[in-house]
Amino acid sequence: MATLLDVQGVNKTFGGLKALDDVNLKVEEGSVHAIIGPNGAGKSTLLNCFVGRLKPDTGTVMFAGKSLLGILPHQINQAGVARVFQTPEIFADLTLHENVMIPTFAKTDGAFRINAWQAVSGRKDVHERADAILQDVGLYEKRNDHSGSLSRGDKRRLELAMCLVQDPKLLLLDEPTAGMSRADTNNTIDLLKKIGERGITKIIIEHDMHVVFSLADKVSVLARGHVIAEGSPDEIKGDARVQEAYLGGTHP
């Protein structure tokens, strides 16, 4: 498989704290690549370097052969990178259908602006696309409900729909099952597997090892800002450094 995201020699320091220490990472096209590690390991900092929220002190971040450094977050989104945050970011006062329509405007215009709804509400193709995506994630029957009334699991499904409508090449998921019941977690795993059938490359940051080992093709382990181990889920399970730094027998 071709490399879609190529990270080389990334370092990031905040004052005297080295959050990222010579991070190297290759994410293959169409794969699910998990990044795990203890709290404070640098996982979210690394993700922020991918989406333009932070700029590394040194190193390169190449996506589909082009550098992501020095360009604005909305330009990275337009290039094909979408992100699902740890806490679902949705428009609580809008219906599910309206939530999924708005990102189609942001994809071309560059921002979630106050006039986004006016720009897309008259387009039949956008309405049809929103309904199709809601059908895919199992929320079509609730399309006219206000999103603020959804359960945690359904809010996550809605946020995934808002990403999928943008046709991303790379989907970044930051703790996609945080705060969920086991039933919602398993439903999210099933949904992410279904999304995988689209060929979308995914990077997952996750503490729940059940989620990681159910989905990942490859796992990178961060500790103190440095990649200490990398390999298949089976290889990571048996790595003594990982057991010491993170797993420690406390996760399923």
Summarised one tens digit per residue, pLDDT across range 188-221 is 999 999 888 888 999 999 989 899 999 999 999 9
User: How does residue 64 score in pLDDT terms, banded at 50, 70 and 90?
Assistant: very high
Contact 142, 154 (CB under 8 A): yes
With a cut of 60, say whether residue 74 has pLDDT above it.
yes
User: How does residue 118 score in pLDDT terms, banded at 50, 70 and 90?
Assistant: low
User: How does residue 135 score in pLDDT terms, banded at 50, 70 and 90?
Assistant: very high
Do 32 and 61 lie in one domain? The reply is: yes
Do 187 and 63 lie in one domain? The reply is: yes
Residue 36: both structure tokens together? 């795990």
- Per-residue model confidence (pLDDT) at position 68: 95
Of 166, 200, 227, the last residue of a domain is 166
Do 176 and 237 lie in one domain? The reply is: yes
Of 166, 187, 203, the last residue of a domain is 166
Do 174 and 154 lie in one domain? The reply is: no
- Per-residue model confidence (pLDDT) at position 51: 93
Of 166, 199, 225, the last residue of a domain is 166
- Domain residue limits at 162: 89-166
Summarised one tens digit per residue, pLDDT across range 165-184 is 989 999 999 999 888 889 98
User: How does residue 114 score in pLDDT terms, banded at 50, 70 and 90?
Assistant: low
Averaged pLDDT score across all residues of the chain: 88
Do 120 and 181 lie in one domain? The reply is: no
**pTM value?**
0.88
Contact 162, 194 (CB under 8 A): no
User: How does residue 109 score in pLDDT terms, banded at 50, 70 and 90?
Assistant: low
Query: What is the number of alpha carbons within 13 Å of residue 67 lying toward its C-beta?
Result: 9
With a cut of 50, say whether residue 249 has pLDDT above it.
no
Do 68 and 119 lie in one domain? The reply is: no
**Residue 214's CATH number:** 3.40.50.300
Do 179 and 157 lie in one domain? The reply is: no
Do 67 and 172 lie in one domain? The reply is: yes
Do 213 and 247 lie in one domain? The reply is: yes
Q: Which amino acid is at 14?
A: F
Summarised one tens digit per residue, pLDDT across range 31-58 is 999 999 888 899 999 999 999 999 999 9
Do 119 and 221 lie in one domain? The reply is: no
Do 101 and 221 lie in one domain? The reply is: no
Q: Domain total for the chain? A: 2
Do 182 and 63 lie in one domain? The reply is: yes
With a cut of 70, say whether residue 222 has pLDDT above it.
yes
- Per-residue model confidence (pLDDT) at position 250: 43
